[in-house]
Chains A and B, each alone.
Chain A
Amino acid sequence: MQFGIFSVGDVTEDPTTGKAPSEAERIDSMTRLALKAEEVGLDVFATGEHHNPPFVVSSPTTHLGYIAAKTEKLLLSTSTTLITTNDPVKIAEDYAFLQHLSGGRVDLMMGRGNTGPVYPWFGKDIRDGIKLAVENYHLLRKLWREPVVNWQGQFRTPLQGYTSTPAPLDGTPPFVWHGSIRSTEIAEQAAYYGDGFFHNHIFWNKEHTEAMVRLYRRRFEHYGHGAADQAYVGLGGQVFMAGSEAEAKRVFRPYFDNAPVYGHGPSLEDFTEMTPLTVGTPEQVIERTLGFADYVGDYQRQLFLVDHAGLPTSLVLEQVEMLGTEVVPVLRKEFERRRPAHVPSDPPTHASMVAAGPDAPFHLVEPALERVKEMQAAAAKVDA
Protein backbone atom coordinates (compact mmCIF):
# COMPACT_ATOMS: atom_id res chain seq x y z
CA MET A 1 0.00 0.00 0.00
CA GLN A 2 1.19 3.49 -0.80
CA PHE A 3 1.20 6.33 1.71
CA GLY A 4 1.99 9.94 1.07
CA ILE A 5 1.08 13.55 1.31
CA PHE A 6 -0.82 15.87 -0.99
CA SER A 7 -0.71 19.64 -1.05
CA VAL A 8 -3.04 22.28 -2.43
CA GLY A 9 -0.22 24.84 -2.48
CA ASP A 10 -2.04 27.73 -0.82
CA VAL A 11 -0.26 30.86 0.38
CA THR A 12 -2.08 31.62 3.61
CA GLU A 13 -1.24 33.98 6.45
CA ASP A 14 -0.22 32.25 9.67
CA PRO A 15 -3.03 33.39 11.98
CA THR A 16 -0.77 33.18 15.04
CA THR A 17 1.82 35.61 13.61
CA GLY A 18 -0.14 37.53 10.98
CA LYS A 19 2.60 36.79 8.44
CA ALA A 20 2.16 35.05 5.09
CA PRO A 21 5.06 33.34 3.34
CA SER A 22 6.25 34.77 0.04
CA GLU A 23 5.57 32.69 -3.06
CA ALA A 24 9.23 31.70 -3.11
CA GLU A 25 9.03 30.58 0.53
CA ARG A 26 5.88 28.60 -0.10
CA ILE A 27 7.33 26.80 -3.11
CA ASP A 28 10.49 26.04 -1.15
CA SER A 29 8.38 24.79 1.74
CA MET A 30 6.54 22.35 -0.54
CA THR A 31 9.86 21.10 -1.91
CA ARG A 32 11.19 20.51 1.61
CA LEU A 33 7.98 18.69 2.44
CA ALA A 34 8.45 16.34 -0.52
CA LEU A 35 12.10 15.68 0.35
CA LYS A 36 11.12 15.01 3.95
CA ALA A 37 8.48 12.56 2.75
CA GLU A 38 11.14 10.50 0.98
CA GLU A 39 13.53 10.78 3.92
CA VAL A 40 11.04 9.34 6.41
CA GLY A 41 9.90 6.54 4.13
CA LEU A 42 6.64 7.80 2.65
CA ASP A 43 5.88 6.68 -0.91
CA VAL A 44 4.05 9.52 -2.65
CA PHE A 45 4.14 13.29 -2.96
CA ALA A 46 1.27 14.86 -4.91
CA THR A 47 0.92 18.51 -5.81
CA GLY A 48 -2.26 20.36 -6.64
CA GLU A 49 -2.72 22.57 -9.67
CA HIS A 50 -4.28 26.02 -9.50
CA HIS A 51 -4.14 29.06 -11.74
CA ASN A 52 -5.23 31.77 -9.34
CA PRO A 53 -4.08 33.37 -6.09
CA PRO A 54 -3.63 32.47 -3.26
CA PHE A 55 -2.08 29.36 -4.84
CA VAL A 56 1.43 28.92 -6.26
CA VAL A 57 1.05 25.53 -7.93
CA SER A 58 0.48 26.51 -11.56
CA SER A 59 3.32 24.44 -13.01
CA PRO A 60 3.33 20.92 -11.51
CA THR A 61 5.80 19.21 -13.85
CA THR A 62 8.38 21.96 -13.32
CA HIS A 63 8.12 21.42 -9.59
CA LEU A 64 7.94 17.63 -9.75
CA GLY A 65 10.92 17.56 -12.15
CA TYR A 66 12.97 19.49 -9.61
CA ILE A 67 11.88 17.16 -6.81
CA ALA A 68 12.60 14.15 -9.01
CA ALA A 69 16.22 15.31 -9.36
CA LYS A 70 16.59 15.48 -5.58
CA THR A 71 14.92 12.17 -4.72
CA GLU A 72 15.41 8.52 -5.58
CA LYS A 73 12.34 6.56 -4.59
CA LEU A 74 9.52 9.04 -4.12
CA LEU A 75 6.57 8.62 -6.49
CA LEU A 76 5.54 11.98 -7.93
CA SER A 77 1.87 12.59 -8.48
CA THR A 78 -0.78 15.28 -8.77
CA SER A 79 -3.87 16.21 -6.82
CA THR A 80 -5.23 17.08 -9.31
CA THR A 81 -4.20 17.70 -12.92
CA LEU A 82 -6.86 19.81 -14.62
CA ILE A 83 -8.06 17.62 -17.46
CA THR A 84 -10.69 20.20 -18.41
CA THR A 85 -8.70 23.38 -19.00
CA ASN A 86 -5.23 22.00 -19.83
CA ASP A 87 -4.53 20.95 -23.38
CA PRO A 88 -4.35 17.13 -23.31
CA VAL A 89 -1.54 17.32 -25.86
CA LYS A 90 0.56 19.30 -23.40
CA ILE A 91 -0.32 16.94 -20.53
CA ALA A 92 0.81 14.00 -22.68
CA GLU A 93 4.15 15.67 -23.42
CA ASP A 94 4.86 17.10 -19.98
CA TYR A 95 4.17 13.97 -17.97
CA ALA A 96 5.92 11.64 -20.42
CA PHE A 97 8.94 13.94 -20.13
CA LEU A 98 8.68 13.75 -16.34
CA GLN A 99 8.62 9.96 -16.60
CA HIS A 100 11.93 10.05 -18.45
CA LEU A 101 13.48 12.45 -15.95
CA SER A 102 12.32 10.49 -12.92
CA GLY A 103 12.82 6.94 -14.15
CA GLY A 104 9.08 6.26 -14.26
CA ARG A 105 8.26 7.58 -10.77
CA VAL A 106 5.11 9.32 -12.03
CA ASP A 107 1.39 8.90 -11.89
CA LEU A 108 -1.40 11.45 -12.21
CA MET A 109 -4.77 12.22 -10.79
CA MET A 110 -7.26 13.84 -13.13
CA GLY A 111 -9.66 16.45 -11.79
CA ARG A 112 -11.98 19.03 -13.26
CA GLY A 113 -11.14 22.00 -11.04
CA ASN A 114 -13.65 23.93 -9.00
CA THR A 115 -12.72 27.56 -9.68
CA GLY A 116 -15.28 28.96 -12.12
CA PRO A 117 -13.24 31.71 -13.82
CA VAL A 118 -10.34 29.33 -14.63
CA TYR A 119 -12.49 27.86 -17.40
CA PRO A 120 -13.02 31.12 -19.34
CA TRP A 121 -9.42 32.19 -18.67
CA PHE A 122 -8.38 29.08 -20.58
CA GLY A 123 -11.07 29.49 -23.22
CA LYS A 124 -13.48 26.90 -21.83
CA ASP A 125 -16.99 26.81 -20.36
CA ILE A 126 -17.51 25.27 -16.90
CA ARG A 127 -20.86 23.89 -18.03
CA ASP A 128 -18.89 21.58 -20.35
CA GLY A 129 -16.85 20.26 -17.38
CA ILE A 130 -17.81 16.60 -17.67
CA LYS A 131 -17.67 16.54 -21.47
CA LEU A 132 -14.23 18.18 -21.39
CA ALA A 133 -13.01 15.60 -18.88
CA VAL A 134 -14.34 12.77 -21.07
CA GLU A 135 -13.06 14.01 -24.42
CA ASN A 136 -9.69 15.31 -23.22
CA TYR A 137 -8.84 12.19 -21.23
CA HIS A 138 -9.74 9.92 -24.12
CA LEU A 139 -7.41 11.93 -26.35
CA LEU A 140 -4.68 11.75 -23.70
CA ARG A 141 -4.92 7.95 -23.69
CA LYS A 142 -4.57 7.90 -27.47
CA LEU A 143 -1.57 10.25 -27.42
CA TRP A 144 0.20 7.94 -24.96
CA ARG A 145 -0.75 4.73 -26.76
CA GLU A 146 -0.93 5.37 -30.51
CA PRO A 147 2.28 6.30 -32.36
CA VAL A 148 0.42 8.57 -34.77
CA VAL A 149 -2.83 10.25 -33.78
CA ASN A 150 -5.50 11.48 -36.18
CA TRP A 151 -8.22 13.04 -34.14
CA GLN A 152 -11.10 15.46 -34.35
CA GLY A 153 -13.19 16.30 -31.32
CA GLN A 154 -15.44 19.04 -30.02
CA PHE A 155 -13.08 21.13 -27.93
CA ARG A 156 -9.65 21.49 -29.49
CA THR A 157 -8.00 21.90 -32.88
CA PRO A 158 -8.04 18.62 -34.86
CA LEU A 159 -4.83 16.59 -34.98
CA GLN A 160 -3.59 15.17 -38.26
CA GLY A 161 -0.52 12.94 -38.23
CA TYR A 162 0.49 14.01 -34.71
CA THR A 163 3.07 12.14 -32.65
CA SER A 164 3.48 13.07 -29.00
CA THR A 165 7.11 13.30 -27.90
CA PRO A 166 8.77 12.00 -25.92
CA ALA A 167 6.81 8.74 -26.05
CA PRO A 168 6.05 7.32 -22.58
CA LEU A 169 9.07 5.74 -20.88
CA ASP A 170 9.45 2.08 -21.93
CA GLY A 171 6.31 2.48 -24.05
CA THR A 172 4.36 2.45 -20.79
CA PRO A 173 2.13 5.42 -19.92
CA PRO A 174 1.76 6.57 -16.32
CA PHE A 175 -1.03 5.09 -14.22
CA VAL A 176 -3.97 7.47 -13.89
CA TRP A 177 -6.38 8.17 -11.04
CA HIS A 178 -9.59 10.11 -11.42
CA GLY A 179 -10.62 12.32 -8.54
CA SER A 180 -14.14 13.46 -7.97
CA ILE A 181 -16.12 14.33 -4.88
CA ARG A 182 -19.65 13.81 -6.13
CA SER A 183 -19.79 13.38 -9.91
CA THR A 184 -20.81 9.81 -10.62
CA GLU A 185 -19.73 10.26 -14.26
CA ILE A 186 -16.10 10.48 -13.13
CA ALA A 187 -16.34 7.31 -11.01
CA GLU A 188 -17.84 5.69 -14.11
CA GLN A 189 -14.96 7.01 -16.25
CA ALA A 190 -12.34 5.57 -13.87
CA ALA A 191 -14.17 2.23 -13.90
CA TYR A 192 -14.52 2.14 -17.69
CA TYR A 193 -10.78 2.43 -18.32
CA GLY A 194 -9.74 0.33 -15.34
CA ASP A 195 -8.01 3.37 -13.84
CA GLY A 196 -7.84 4.30 -10.17
CA PHE A 197 -10.50 6.29 -8.31
CA PHE A 198 -9.46 8.77 -5.65
CA HIS A 199 -11.89 10.36 -3.25
CA ASN A 200 -10.78 13.61 -1.63
CA HIS A 201 -12.68 12.41 1.45
CA ILE A 202 -11.49 15.26 3.67
CA PHE A 203 -14.48 17.56 3.25
CA TRP A 204 -17.13 14.84 3.29
CA ASN A 205 -18.90 12.48 5.57
CA LYS A 206 -17.93 8.85 5.32
CA GLU A 207 -21.33 7.70 4.02
CA HIS A 208 -20.85 9.83 0.93
CA THR A 209 -17.30 8.62 0.27
CA GLU A 210 -18.47 5.07 0.80
CA ALA A 211 -21.26 5.44 -1.78
CA MET A 212 -18.94 6.95 -4.41
CA VAL A 213 -16.31 4.23 -3.95
CA ARG A 214 -18.95 1.50 -3.99
CA LEU A 215 -20.26 2.81 -7.30
CA TYR A 216 -16.74 2.84 -8.80
CA ARG A 217 -15.99 -0.68 -7.58
CA ARG A 218 -19.25 -2.08 -8.97
CA ARG A 219 -18.64 -0.54 -12.41
CA PHE A 220 -14.94 -1.61 -12.41
CA GLU A 221 -16.16 -5.18 -12.14
CA HIS A 222 -18.92 -4.55 -14.71
CA TYR A 223 -16.29 -3.53 -17.28
CA GLY A 224 -14.30 -6.70 -16.67
CA HIS A 225 -11.13 -5.36 -15.07
CA GLY A 226 -11.41 -7.64 -12.04
CA ALA A 227 -13.59 -8.13 -9.00
CA ALA A 228 -15.04 -5.06 -7.31
CA ASP A 229 -12.76 -5.46 -4.32
CA GLN A 230 -9.72 -5.45 -6.63
CA ALA A 231 -10.39 -1.98 -8.01
CA TYR A 232 -7.79 0.71 -7.25
CA VAL A 233 -8.98 3.07 -4.57
CA GLY A 234 -7.22 6.07 -3.07
CA LEU A 235 -8.36 8.32 -0.23
CA GLY A 236 -7.43 11.65 1.24
CA GLY A 237 -7.08 12.27 4.95
CA GLN A 238 -6.33 15.25 7.13
CA VAL A 239 -4.38 15.07 10.36
CA PHE A 240 -2.57 17.13 12.95
CA MET A 241 -0.62 15.34 15.66
CA ALA A 242 1.09 16.06 18.96
CA GLY A 243 2.05 14.11 22.07
CA SER A 244 -1.43 14.53 23.53
CA GLU A 245 -4.83 15.22 22.05
CA ALA A 246 -5.16 18.42 24.10
CA GLU A 247 -1.80 19.71 22.85
CA ALA A 248 -2.65 18.86 19.22
CA LYS A 249 -5.95 20.74 19.48
CA ARG A 250 -4.36 23.72 21.21
CA VAL A 251 -1.74 24.16 18.47
CA PHE A 252 -3.99 23.38 15.51
CA ARG A 253 -7.13 25.26 16.56
CA PRO A 254 -6.14 28.78 15.36
CA TYR A 255 -5.20 27.33 11.97
CA PHE A 256 -8.44 25.40 11.77
CA ASP A 257 -10.56 28.36 12.85
CA ASN A 258 -9.07 30.57 10.12
CA ALA A 259 -8.55 27.97 7.37
CA PRO A 260 -9.57 29.12 3.89
CA VAL A 261 -11.97 26.27 3.16
CA TYR A 262 -13.90 25.74 6.38
CA GLY A 263 -12.67 28.46 8.75
CA HIS A 264 -15.18 30.58 10.66
CA GLY A 265 -17.70 27.78 10.16
CA PRO A 266 -18.06 24.57 12.17
CA SER A 267 -16.04 23.96 15.31
CA LEU A 268 -12.95 21.76 15.22
CA GLU A 269 -14.88 19.17 17.22
CA ASP A 270 -17.90 19.18 14.88
CA PHE A 271 -15.69 18.98 11.81
CA THR A 272 -13.77 16.06 13.33
CA GLU A 273 -17.05 14.23 13.78
CA MET A 274 -18.41 15.05 10.29
CA THR A 275 -15.22 14.33 8.30
CA PRO A 276 -12.06 12.21 8.55
CA LEU A 277 -10.09 15.09 10.16
CA THR A 278 -8.14 13.75 13.13
CA VAL A 279 -6.41 16.09 15.55
CA GLY A 280 -4.74 14.11 18.30
CA THR A 281 -2.02 11.59 19.01
CA PRO A 282 -0.37 9.35 16.39
CA GLU A 283 -2.27 6.44 17.97
CA GLN A 284 -5.58 8.23 17.34
CA VAL A 285 -4.59 8.88 13.73
CA ILE A 286 -3.71 5.21 13.29
CA GLU A 287 -7.02 4.06 14.71
CA ARG A 288 -9.10 6.49 12.64
CA THR A 289 -7.22 5.78 9.40
CA LEU A 290 -7.51 2.01 9.79
CA GLY A 291 -11.26 2.56 10.08
CA PHE A 292 -11.39 3.99 6.53
CA ALA A 293 -11.04 0.47 5.12
CA ASP A 294 -14.16 -0.57 7.03
CA TYR A 295 -16.30 1.55 4.70
CA VAL A 296 -14.38 1.77 1.39
CA GLY A 297 -12.87 -1.72 1.54
CA ASP A 298 -9.17 -2.60 1.39
CA TYR A 299 -7.54 0.15 -0.63
CA GLN A 300 -4.23 1.00 -2.23
CA ARG A 301 -3.30 4.62 -1.57
CA GLN A 302 -3.67 6.94 1.41
CA LEU A 303 -2.62 10.58 1.06
CA PHE A 304 -2.61 13.03 3.95
CA LEU A 305 -3.12 16.78 3.81
CA VAL A 306 -0.77 18.40 6.34
CA ASP A 307 0.50 21.69 4.89
CA HIS A 308 -2.25 24.25 4.58
CA ALA A 309 -4.03 27.09 6.37
CA GLY A 310 -0.80 28.95 7.09
CA LEU A 311 0.88 26.22 9.16
CA PRO A 312 4.59 27.07 9.40
CA THR A 313 7.04 24.83 7.56
CA SER A 314 8.72 23.65 10.77
CA LEU A 315 5.41 22.33 12.16
CA VAL A 316 4.51 20.68 8.86
CA LEU A 317 7.88 18.93 8.63
CA GLU A 318 7.31 17.58 12.15
CA GLN A 319 3.97 16.21 11.01
CA VAL A 320 5.56 14.42 8.06
CA GLU A 321 8.24 13.05 10.38
CA MET A 322 5.57 11.64 12.71
CA LEU A 323 3.66 10.16 9.80
CA GLY A 324 6.79 8.46 8.50
CA THR A 325 8.19 7.18 11.76
CA GLU A 326 5.18 6.54 14.00
CA VAL A 327 2.00 6.27 11.93
CA VAL A 328 2.66 4.75 8.53
CA PRO A 329 4.79 1.78 9.71
CA VAL A 330 1.85 0.63 11.85
CA LEU A 331 -0.68 1.36 9.10
CA ARG A 332 1.32 -0.69 6.59
CA LYS A 333 1.35 -3.69 8.89
CA GLU A 334 -2.28 -3.46 9.96
CA PHE A 335 -3.71 -2.78 6.49
CA GLU A 336 -1.83 -5.82 5.13
CA ARG A 337 -3.05 -7.95 7.99
CA ARG A 338 -6.68 -7.37 7.06
CA ARG A 339 -6.21 -7.45 3.26
CA PRO A 340 -7.36 -10.65 1.48
CA ALA A 341 -4.71 -12.28 -0.75
CA HIS A 342 -6.54 -11.51 -4.00
CA VAL A 343 -6.74 -7.75 -3.31
CA PRO A 344 -3.69 -5.84 -4.60
CA SER A 345 -1.71 -3.91 -2.02
CA ASP A 346 -0.23 -1.38 -4.43
CA PRO A 347 -1.80 0.31 -7.42
CA PRO A 348 0.00 -0.35 -10.73
CA THR A 349 3.49 1.20 -10.81
CA HIS A 350 5.81 1.78 -13.74
CA ALA A 351 7.77 -1.36 -12.80
CA SER A 352 4.67 -3.55 -12.49
CA MET A 353 3.20 -2.29 -15.76
CA VAL A 354 6.47 -2.83 -17.64
CA ALA A 355 6.64 -6.33 -16.15
CA ALA A 356 3.09 -7.03 -17.35
CA GLY A 357 4.33 -6.60 -20.93
CA PRO A 358 3.08 -4.73 -23.97
CA ASP A 359 0.04 -7.00 -24.42
CA ALA A 360 -1.51 -6.13 -21.06
CA PRO A 361 -4.99 -4.56 -21.41
CA PHE A 362 -3.62 -1.36 -19.88
CA HIS A 363 -1.97 -0.60 -23.23
CA LEU A 364 -5.31 -0.44 -25.05
CA VAL A 365 -7.02 2.94 -25.38
CA GLU A 366 -10.29 1.23 -24.38
CA PRO A 367 -9.55 -1.99 -22.50
CA ALA A 368 -13.26 -2.60 -21.88
CA LEU A 369 -14.37 -2.23 -25.51
CA GLU A 370 -14.58 -5.95 -26.32
CA ARG A 371 -16.39 -6.66 -23.09
CA VAL A 372 -18.96 -3.94 -23.79
CA LYS A 373 -19.54 -5.33 -27.30
CA GLU A 374 -20.04 -8.82 -25.89
CA MET A 375 -22.53 -7.52 -23.34
CA GLN A 376 -24.40 -5.62 -26.05
CA ALA A 377 -24.49 -8.70 -28.28
CA ALA A 378 -25.77 -10.83 -25.41
CA ALA A 379 -28.45 -8.25 -24.62
CA ALA A 380 -29.51 -8.14 -28.30
CA LYS A 381 -29.81 -11.95 -28.31
CA VAL A 382 -32.09 -11.86 -25.26
CA ASP A 383 -34.24 -9.21 -26.95
CA ALA A 384 -34.48 -11.32 -30.12
Chain B
Amino acid sequence: MTRHVVVVTAGLTVPSSTRLLADQLAEALTAQVSARGEAVELQHVELREIAGELATFMTTGGIPTPRLTTLREQVAAADGMIAVTPVFNASFSGLFKMFFDALDPDGLTGTPVLIAATAGTARHSLVLDHAMRPLFAYLRAVVVPTGVFAATEDFGSHGLADRITRAASELAAAVLSQGDYSVGGFGPDLAARPRRTSGTQVESDVTPFGDLLRGHTGND
Protein backbone atom coordinates (compact mmCIF):
# COMPACT_ATOMS: atom_id res chain seq x y z
CA MET B 1 0.00 0.00 0.00
CA THR B 2 1.41 3.35 -1.07
CA ARG B 3 1.40 5.96 1.70
CA HIS B 4 0.69 9.61 0.92
CA VAL B 5 2.68 12.39 2.53
CA VAL B 6 2.06 16.10 1.96
CA VAL B 7 5.13 18.37 1.96
CA VAL B 8 4.15 21.94 2.84
CA THR B 9 6.70 24.69 2.25
CA ALA B 10 6.31 28.40 2.89
CA GLY B 11 9.42 29.75 1.20
CA LEU B 12 8.94 32.96 -0.76
CA THR B 13 11.82 33.02 -3.23
CA VAL B 14 12.54 30.65 -6.09
CA PRO B 15 14.64 28.73 -5.35
CA SER B 16 14.30 29.02 -1.58
CA SER B 17 16.38 27.41 1.16
CA THR B 18 13.06 26.34 2.74
CA ARG B 19 12.24 24.31 -0.37
CA LEU B 20 15.82 23.01 -0.46
CA LEU B 21 15.43 21.66 3.08
CA ALA B 22 11.97 20.27 2.28
CA ASP B 23 13.35 18.40 -0.72
CA GLN B 24 16.14 16.86 1.35
CA LEU B 25 13.61 15.78 4.00
CA ALA B 26 11.31 14.34 1.34
CA GLU B 27 14.15 12.43 -0.27
CA ALA B 28 15.27 11.06 3.08
CA LEU B 29 11.69 10.02 3.89
CA THR B 30 11.35 8.19 0.58
CA ALA B 31 14.63 6.35 1.31
CA GLN B 32 13.51 5.42 4.82
CA VAL B 33 10.11 4.17 3.68
CA SER B 34 11.66 2.20 0.80
CA ALA B 35 14.18 0.67 3.19
CA ARG B 36 11.20 -0.77 5.08
CA GLY B 37 9.86 -2.32 1.88
CA GLU B 38 7.01 0.16 1.48
CA ALA B 39 6.24 2.99 -0.93
CA VAL B 40 5.43 6.64 -0.40
CA GLU B 41 3.97 9.23 -2.75
CA LEU B 42 4.79 12.86 -2.06
CA GLN B 43 2.54 15.81 -2.71
CA HIS B 44 4.42 19.13 -2.70
CA VAL B 45 2.52 22.26 -1.69
CA GLU B 46 4.28 25.58 -2.28
CA LEU B 47 2.15 27.98 -0.26
CA ARG B 48 3.38 30.94 -2.31
CA GLU B 49 1.37 29.56 -5.24
CA ILE B 50 -1.88 29.75 -3.27
CA ALA B 51 -1.14 32.98 -1.36
CA GLY B 52 -3.93 34.79 -3.24
CA GLU B 53 -6.43 32.00 -2.62
CA LEU B 54 -5.58 31.99 1.09
CA ALA B 55 -6.20 35.75 1.21
CA THR B 56 -9.53 35.23 -0.57
CA PHE B 57 -10.49 32.50 1.89
CA MET B 58 -9.69 34.79 4.83
CA THR B 59 -11.37 37.93 3.49
CA THR B 60 -14.61 36.26 2.43
CA GLY B 61 -15.38 34.27 5.56
CA GLY B 62 -14.18 31.07 3.96
CA ILE B 63 -15.28 30.85 0.34
CA PRO B 64 -13.59 27.69 -0.87
CA THR B 65 -11.41 28.28 -3.91
CA PRO B 66 -10.86 25.21 -6.10
CA ARG B 67 -7.13 24.68 -5.46
CA LEU B 68 -7.45 25.26 -1.72
CA THR B 69 -10.36 22.84 -1.51
CA THR B 70 -8.28 20.15 -3.20
CA LEU B 71 -5.37 20.80 -0.84
CA ARG B 72 -7.58 20.64 2.27
CA GLU B 73 -8.88 17.30 1.08
CA GLN B 74 -5.37 16.01 0.36
CA VAL B 75 -4.19 17.04 3.83
CA ALA B 76 -7.16 15.37 5.54
CA ALA B 77 -6.48 12.16 3.60
CA ALA B 78 -2.69 12.14 3.99
CA ASP B 79 -0.79 9.56 6.03
CA GLY B 80 1.76 12.14 7.12
CA MET B 81 3.11 15.64 6.59
CA ILE B 82 6.42 17.46 6.33
CA ALA B 83 5.95 21.14 7.23
CA VAL B 84 8.75 23.60 6.54
CA THR B 85 8.69 27.35 7.15
CA PRO B 86 11.18 30.19 7.07
CA VAL B 87 11.50 32.09 10.36
CA PHE B 88 10.09 35.61 10.20
CA ASN B 89 10.24 37.85 13.26
CA ALA B 90 10.73 35.05 15.78
CA SER B 91 8.04 32.70 14.44
CA PHE B 92 6.72 30.81 11.42
CA SER B 93 5.82 33.06 8.51
CA GLY B 94 2.33 34.52 8.22
CA LEU B 95 1.77 32.64 4.97
CA PHE B 96 2.59 29.35 6.72
CA LYS B 97 0.09 30.11 9.51
CA MET B 98 -2.62 31.15 7.05
CA PHE B 99 -2.57 27.72 5.46
CA PHE B 100 -3.06 25.97 8.78
CA ASP B 101 -5.74 28.50 9.74
CA ALA B 102 -7.58 27.50 6.57
CA LEU B 103 -7.58 23.79 7.43
CA ASP B 104 -10.44 22.13 9.23
CA PRO B 105 -9.54 21.83 12.95
CA ASP B 106 -9.85 18.05 12.52
CA GLY B 107 -7.86 17.93 9.30
CA LEU B 108 -4.64 16.69 10.90
CA THR B 109 -5.90 14.88 14.00
CA GLY B 110 -3.60 11.96 14.79
CA THR B 111 -1.46 12.58 11.71
CA PRO B 112 2.37 12.23 11.97
CA VAL B 113 4.10 15.53 11.18
CA LEU B 114 7.77 16.37 10.76
CA ILE B 115 8.45 20.02 11.54
CA ALA B 116 11.35 21.95 10.04
CA ALA B 117 12.43 25.57 9.69
CA THR B 118 15.09 27.68 8.01
CA ALA B 119 16.63 30.96 9.07
CA GLY B 120 19.71 33.11 8.56
CA THR B 121 21.30 32.14 11.88
CA ALA B 122 21.03 29.43 14.52
CA ARG B 123 19.73 31.98 17.02
CA HIS B 124 16.18 31.28 15.67
CA SER B 125 16.26 27.54 16.25
CA LEU B 126 13.81 27.56 19.17
CA VAL B 127 11.04 28.41 16.70
CA LEU B 128 10.61 24.66 16.25
CA ASP B 129 9.69 24.03 19.85
CA HIS B 130 8.17 27.37 20.81
CA ALA B 131 6.01 28.05 17.75
CA MET B 132 5.63 25.05 15.45
CA ARG B 133 5.24 22.28 18.02
CA PRO B 134 2.41 24.09 19.92
CA LEU B 135 0.59 24.78 16.64
CA PHE B 136 0.56 21.11 15.71
CA ALA B 137 -0.21 20.06 19.28
CA TYR B 138 -3.33 22.24 19.07
CA LEU B 139 -4.28 20.50 15.82
CA ARG B 140 -3.80 17.16 17.62
CA ALA B 141 -1.18 16.06 15.11
CA VAL B 142 1.59 13.71 16.22
CA VAL B 143 4.85 15.64 15.87
CA VAL B 144 7.87 13.35 15.58
CA PRO B 145 10.55 13.96 18.24
CA THR B 146 13.22 15.34 15.93
CA GLY B 147 12.55 18.71 14.39
CA VAL B 148 14.99 19.94 11.76
CA PHE B 149 16.34 23.46 11.87
CA ALA B 150 18.68 24.72 9.17
CA ALA B 151 20.50 28.02 9.47
CA THR B 152 22.27 29.18 6.32
CA GLU B 153 25.61 27.91 7.60
CA ASP B 154 24.15 24.41 8.19
CA PHE B 155 23.95 23.84 4.46
CA GLY B 156 27.76 23.49 4.63
CA SER B 157 27.96 21.16 7.63
CA HIS B 158 27.62 17.44 8.33
CA GLY B 159 25.22 17.65 11.27
CA LEU B 160 22.24 18.70 9.15
CA ALA B 161 22.28 15.50 7.07
CA ASP B 162 22.30 13.39 10.23
CA ARG B 163 19.36 15.26 11.69
CA ILE B 164 17.47 14.94 8.40
CA THR B 165 18.01 11.18 8.37
CA ARG B 166 16.97 10.78 12.00
CA ALA B 167 13.81 12.87 11.55
CA ALA B 168 12.89 11.09 8.30
CA SER B 169 13.36 7.73 10.00
CA GLU B 170 11.02 8.75 12.82
CA LEU B 171 8.42 10.03 10.36
CA ALA B 172 8.67 6.88 8.22
CA ALA B 173 8.04 4.67 11.26
CA ALA B 174 5.06 6.80 12.32
CA VAL B 175 3.56 6.93 8.81
CA LEU B 176 3.88 3.17 8.34
CA SER B 177 2.15 2.44 11.63
CA GLN B 178 -0.86 4.57 10.62
CA GLY B 179 -4.20 2.82 10.83
CA ASP B 180 -2.96 0.12 13.20
CA TYR B 181 -5.20 0.36 16.23
CA SER B 182 -5.06 -3.26 17.34
CA VAL B 183 -3.64 -3.96 20.73
CA GLY B 184 -1.64 -7.06 21.60
CA GLY B 185 -3.40 -9.62 19.42
CA PHE B 186 -6.91 -8.20 19.88
CA GLY B 187 -9.01 -6.82 17.03
CA PRO B 188 -8.59 -3.17 16.06
CA ASP B 189 -10.37 -0.67 18.27
CA LEU B 190 -12.14 1.33 15.57
CA ALA B 191 -13.65 3.73 18.09
CA ALA B 192 -10.13 4.84 19.02
CA ARG B 193 -9.35 5.82 15.43
CA PRO B 194 -8.90 9.63 15.21
CA ARG B 195 -11.71 11.29 13.33
CA ARG B 196 -10.43 13.48 10.51
CA THR B 197 -12.29 15.74 8.14
CA SER B 198 -11.36 18.18 5.41
CA GLY B 199 -14.35 20.40 6.14
CA THR B 200 -14.90 20.81 2.40
CA GLN B 201 -17.93 18.56 1.97
CA VAL B 202 -21.51 18.69 3.18
CA GLU B 203 -21.76 15.59 5.32
CA SER B 204 -24.47 13.28 4.08
CA ASP B 205 -24.90 11.25 7.27
CA VAL B 206 -27.04 13.88 9.00
CA THR B 207 -28.13 13.45 12.63
CA PRO B 208 -31.83 12.40 12.58
CA PHE B 209 -33.98 15.24 13.88
CA GLY B 210 -35.47 13.09 16.62
CA ASP B 211 -32.00 12.96 18.18
CA LEU B 212 -31.54 16.72 17.89
CA LEU B 213 -34.97 17.34 19.44
CA ARG B 214 -34.50 14.96 22.36
CA GLY B 215 -34.70 16.92 25.60
CA HIS B 216 -35.91 20.05 23.79
CA THR B 217 -39.60 19.38 23.09
CA GLY B 218 -40.66 21.04 26.33
CA ASN B 219 -42.55 17.92 27.40
CA ASP B 220 -39.75 15.63 28.46
**A residues apposed to B, CB below 8 Å:** 130-131, 134-135, 138-139, 142, 149, 151-154, 159, 182, 184-185, 187-189, 191-192, 203-205, 208, 211-212, 215, 219, 223, 261-266, 270-271, 274-275, 372
Query: Are B218's CB and A203's CB within 8 A?
Result: no
Assuming A138-B213, A188-B206, A188-B212, is B64 touching A208 (CB within 8 A)? yes
Min C-beta distance of B153 to chain A, whole Å: 40
Those of B187-220 within 8 Å (CB) of chain A: 201-204, 206-210, 212-213, 215-219
Min C-beta distance of A202 to chain B, whole Å: 10
Assuming A130-B212, A134-B212, A151-B219, is B60 touching A185 (CB within 8 A)? no
Q: What 4 A-B pairs are tightest by C-beta distance, nearest first?
A: A265-B59, A151-B218, A211-B202, A135-B216
Query: Are A203's CB and B60's CB within 8 A?
Result: yes
Query: Are B204's CB and A266's CB within 8 A?
Result: no
Query: Are A266's CB and B206's CB within 8 A?
Result: no
A/B interface sample: 7 pairs, CB < 8 A? A130-B212, A151-B218, A152-B218, A188-B207, A204-B63, A264-B59, A274-B56
Query: Are B63's CB and A274's CB within 8 A?
Result: yes
Interface of B is mostly: loop
> Which of B203, B204, B213 has the most CB atoms of chain A within a 10 A radius of its CB?
B213
Query: Are B215's CB and A154's CB within 8 A?
Result: yes
Query: Are B63's CB and A275's CB within 8 A?
Result: yes
Q: Tell yes or no: B90 within 8 A of A by CB.
A: no
Query: Are A189's CB and B216's CB within 8 A?
Result: no
Q: Give the residues in chain A near B59, CB-CB below 8 Å.
A: 262-266
Q: Tell yes or no: B61 within 8 A of A by CB.
A: yes
Across the interface, B218 reaches (CB within 8 A) one of A139, A212, A266, A372, namely A139
Query: Are B206's CB and A215's CB within 8 A?
Result: yes
A52 to B218, CA, bound (A): 31
Q: Give the residues in chain B near A212, CB-CB below 8 Å.
A: 202
Min C-beta distance of A80 to chain B, whole Å: 16
Query: Are A134's CB and B213's CB within 8 A?
Result: yes
Query: Are B202's CB and A182's CB within 8 A?
Result: yes
